[in-house]
Amino acid sequence: MFQNQGAEYLAVVDNDYVLSNIITKYHFHLLLLEDIAWDFRFDFFSLDEGKLLQDVVNRPWGFYKSLFISDFTQVKVISLLPGQEISLQKHFKREEYWTIVRGKGIMTVDDQSYFVEKGRQIFIPKEAIHRIRNTQATGNLVLIEAQLGDYFGEDDIVRLRDKYGRD
């Protein structure tokens, strides 16, 4: 369903050919991602499309965009500008899984530092002190971050050191 790029919604009609529901592509995607049982009578407009339609958030080191948020996970794409780094930080309410999709850099988790490049995967346990730096002179370092936990607010970031002066 919705594999045709032109299809934006699906009209559901009952046996009397009366419109009974409308399913948008976004509603269908949320149904799948939230693992909600399929039912044509489901109130699709009760779903929060905002979980899929997040804005790009600018940071001094680059930007991130949340691709999906639920009660148990958040997935982001993170892009670091050349020579930039995120703060040395930790989280109490989530663990993170990072996959580097473009670029090269140095990743620190607790007392270990790693060279990272496309294809490298890193696990960051809750409360692990971590940071990543783009070591390239040109080109962004891009990673996908999958967070698992029960809270994903930016206020769960405990910054230990930040070259941009943020707390």
- At 26, the amino acid letter reads Y
DSSP line for 34-46: TTPPP-TTS-GGG
Residue 116 lies in a domain: yes
Query: What domain count does the chain have?
Result: 2
Asked if residue 129 and residue 80 are part of one domain, the reply reads yes
Per residue in 90-104, pLDDT (tens digit) is 999 999 999 999 999
Asked if residue 148 and residue 84 are part of one domain, the reply reads yes
Q: Radius of gyration (Cα) for the chain, nearest Å?
A: 20
Per residue in 102-161, pLDDT (tens digit) is 999 999 999 999 999 999 999 999 999 999 999 999 999 999 999 999 999 889 999 999
Q: Examine the pLDDT at 85 and tell me if it is beyond 70.
A: yes
Residue bearing the bigger pLDDT, 147 or 10: 147
Asked if residue 76 and residue 33 are part of one domain, the reply reads no
